[in-house]
Structure 1
Amino acid sequence: MKNSGLDLTKGSVLKVILAFAWPIMVSNIFQQLYNTTDTMIVGNFLGENALAAVGSTAAVFELIIGFTIGITNGMGIVIARYFGAKDDVMLKKSVAASITIGFMVALFFTVLGWIGLYPLLQILGTPDNIIHQAYHYIILILSGLLITVSYNLGAALLRAIGDSLTALYILVFSAVLNIGLDWLFVGPFQMGIKGASIATLIAQALSTVLCWTYIYQKRQLLIPKRNHFRIDKNLYRDMLGQGMSMGLMFSIVSIGTVILQTAINGLGVYIIGAQVTARRIQAFFIMPMTATASAMATFASQNFGARQYERIIKGIKRASLVVVIWAIFAFLFLAFAGKGLTILISGSNQTELLSASQLYIRLTTPFYPILGLLFVLRNSLQGLGFKRLPLISSFIELFGKIIFVVFIIPKLGYLGVILCEPLLWVPMAAQLYIAYRKKREYFKSYRA
């Protein structure tokens, strides 16, 4: 193959995983800057109510965007398999299928959002004094969903062939631009909360153009021709199955978060602000774990296509060690730096907000090693083409959050909100580990 990326089927297992993972991690950091910059600038310029408005939309945003990102990543796993198998024809056909499916998904969710977003915010119990700000913030971002899907599909294609570095360069540029536009629109231009949405859309649009221009000029193996767009029922079934599986996994988790948001919204503006601040901090510190896990999806898929089964098992062990070591570091660091980060991101000195945010950090960080193992196992199983097993862990989380919202949070209040997810990580990780053990024995007996 010409113009190929990093071949994860060769070389030192740990080195290729880390070489592939670190650009994903840095990309995720700058991707998170989109949301965190909105939070910081909105909180500092517009106050606690505007901060709560952004926070109240977080679960809905994760639900819609998470599903579309899941679909593109899932289709990227199929593409990585054909790349590992060195099958140029099926690679181009799978790219063509991913473009068609991605466009339809973006269009569907854009229309669905226009129709149902405001009623959904009402159902979630968004406080009356912030619901209009929340709606105007999220509806603008949702209107640019085709841009978001286009970028994430392009990045997924590059990662499928082992090129996680190019997407990083593009995202760094657009994230820096987003920070500047956020400050300009919300601050000097006084565009309010809408300014943060517009800044995000402009930055994402530029990253999309740059990403696909690079693919067209430098990665011709990913450019399908007209004949590759002919519908292959088996291929589309595989692409949709893998994409929907990962998309549903993301969305089921996000549905649980949306349900949890209803309980959070009933606890007041300061608690909403504390929750969004603490989760922004958490999002940054779990990024090395999510990046390693994302690398494992591509690593497992490429090596599955190349029939390197023993290499896959070795890779899962190495990745698990990496995420546990990082989780311990994050726990120790946040024990000392949590308060300062809370003040920095929230832009608030309100005692209730700061105390609630710090309590969230103190109680969740001891569970980070379990969360890291959960990420690695879930992504590895997805990369191996097991569509249903990772979904089970997502359903565990969904039903667990429903139980917490109905029975536990009404009694424990915000403490119940904090304990909900960490306690659910334990059975989720256990289910995935049991599933992996069974499949590992299968691969040991099946390897060439």
Structure 2
Amino acid sequence: MDLTDGPIARTLILFALPTLASNVLQTISGSVNSIWVGHFLGESALAATANANIIMFLMFATFFGFGMAATVLIGQSIGRGDVDAARRATGGIVGMALIFSLVIAIAGWFGSDALLRLLKTPDEAFGLAHDYLRVIFIAVPASMAMVTLMMASRGAGDAVTPLRFMILSVAIDIVLNPILILGLGPVPRLGIAGSALATAIAGTVSLAAMMGWFYARDHVLRLRGAELAYLLPKWSELRFIVTKGVPMGAQMLVISSAGLVMVGLVNREGLVTSAAYAATLQLWSYIQMPALAVGAAVSAMAAQNIGAARWDRVGTVTNSGIAINLAMTGVLITLLLLFDRAALSLFLDKESPAIEVARHIQHIASWTFLPFGTTIVLIGTLRANGSVIPPLIILALSMFPIRLGLYYASYPVLGGDAIWWSFLASSFCALIMAWAIYRRGHWRRRMDQPG
């Protein structure tokens, strides 16, 4: 898609929807695979996959910032019509991803037991997690290359191609899981290793198919001939990706660590509250998807317009992104609150006291995602011109001193409800800071170009 011309709101919606669909598919795939493992192999196997997935999430989160920085660079290059620069950035980030993932795969294969001990993995799940994690580490290079290509493609204005191959990956993964776990037909029974192998096969097949599609359709980011040398990372090409990618990756780590802290605070309130919060998080994962998809779309669209020197459109892109996100998120929150009991019963027993606790949590804190989504859109615009330190500071302040300070200050009065109100209040504080930076900051200055 040409993101520098035409009606902004319509283009933004059409560009964001495939990303939103990809996120939904990925979440559904994880849920279905958990159902397969839990149903066929039991609670210990399910706990094992959860422990292994935490490790993999942290590995991918570490690299996420570099991918986002490359997306910005590709978007600006496409916007100003410099296809060669976009291909150099694509080659650099893919080469970097392959080197990074190979190191991770080798280190993970030999260090999987140490990682699981660090997480205090229960003895009952340790052996299963070991088997699962080792197979997953083998698949890391293909998985990381796939994710990197998808991010690069969106930076170039193509969000449909990643969706196509996400559908393929999810379909293969869901179908192969029971076959490899149980050993249906001529396939040997592999147990939990079969679940990991299904994911590995799905990622590898999808990567191969996506690369074939790139060349068959002469995708703008495909590399040929002398351009294949771009896969050998050079500091002159990667300087922007590394210097901007580290703070972006740190943003993910801040959010993840804040989530772990919140789980610890919730656990202090007892088993019923913990179960209620776990079910609520499942539903919230869907509510936050529009914000993440629209934020990514705004970042790519703003980057292309900045590259094309269409600053007159950047503000409208941001405003449209905020309006679209508020509408989509608002509808989801309303539906959740109207049908909260039915939604929660998918994860909790209908007679469980945790359902009423979860409903109480949702009525207070679900509205958090309105200011949260607006903040994500503003941060997406800042990121589009290489401004990554202010968003990191905003997230760090709102997630820790502000949220925790509000929690401890109000706990004597509100008790456990202090957790849920601190969610809402800290999100509004983050929005105020992001809006101040967006309106008065120096992010509009032209970013330095690599090399």
1:34 shift after superposition: 2.4
Task: Evaluate the alpha carbon distance shift between residue 103 and residue 157 of structure 1 in structure 2; reply closer, same or farther with a 3 A threshold.
Answer: same
> CA offsets, 1:117-162, max 9 Å, x none?
5555545555555455455545543442212211111111211211
Task: Evaluate the alpha carbon distance shift between residue 279 and residue 144 of structure 1 in structure 2; reply closer, same or farther with a 3 A threshold.
Answer: farther
Matched letter for residue 219 of structure 1 = D
2:360 is the alignment partner of 1:393: no
CA distance, structure 2, for counterparts of residue 369 and residue 41 of structure 1? 34
- Per the normalisation by structure 1, the TM-score is 0.84
CA distance, structure 1, for counterparts of residue 270 and residue 131 of structure 2? 20
Answer with 326-335 or 253-262: which moved more: 253-262
Task: Evaluate the alpha carbon distance shift between residue 207 and residue 96 of structure 1 in structure 2; reply closer, same or farther with a 3 A threshold.
Answer: same
1:212-251 paired onto structure 2 within 5 Å: 212-224=211-223, 225-229=227-231, 233-251=235-253
Answer with 374-383 or 361-370: which moved more: 361-370
> CA offsets, 1:179-223, max 9 Å, x none?
222344456767554443332222222221122221122234313
CA distance, structure 2, for counterparts of residue 79 and residue 55 of structure 1? 34
Matched letter for residue 378 of structure 1 = I
Aligned counterpart for 1:281 among listed residues 255, 280, 283? 283
1:292 shift after superposition: 0.9
2:343 is the alignment partner of 1:341: yes
CA contact (8 A) 2:302 2:381 kept: yes
CA contact (8 A) 1:260 1:405 kept: no
Matched letter for residue 90 of structure 1 = A
Task: Evaluate the alpha carbon distance shift between residue 175 and residue 356 of structure 1 in structure 2; reply closer, same or farther with a 3 A threshold.
Answer: farther
Answer with 176-185 or 151-160: which moved more: 176-185
Q: Which has the higher contact order (CA 8 A, sep 6+)?
A: 1
> CA offsets, 1:17-46, max 9 Å, x none?
111111111111111122221233344445
Answer with 32-41 or 56-65: which moved more: 56-65
> CA offsets, 1:28-85, max 9 Å, x none?
1111122221233344445555555545555544322223233223212111111111
Task: Evaluate the alpha carbon distance shift between residue 338 and residue 192 of structure 1 in structure 2; reply closer, same or farther with a 3 A threshold.
Answer: farther
Aligned counterpart for 1:95 among listed residues 72, 90, 96? 90
2:80 is the alignment partner of 1:78: no
Partner of 1:141: 136
Partner of 2:449: none
2:300 is the alignment partner of 1:301: no
CA distance, structure 2, for counterparts of residue 82 and residue 397 of structure 1? 33
1:24-63 paired onto structure 2 within 5 Å: 24-46=19-41, 50-55=45-50, 59-63=54-58
CA distance, structure 1, for counterparts of residue 298 and residue 94 of structure 2? 23
Root mean square deviation of aligned Cα: 3.6
Answer with 389-398 or 86-95: which moved more: 389-398
Partner of 1:368: 369
Unmatched segments (≥5 aa) in structure 2: 447-451
Partner of 2:2: 7
CA distance, structure 2, for counterparts of residue 204 and residue 367 of structure 1? 34
Partner of 1:19: 14
Partner of 1:153: 148
Give me the identity figure in percent: 20
Unmatched segments (≥5 aa) in structure 1: 1-5
CA contact (8 A) 2:279 2:348 kept: no
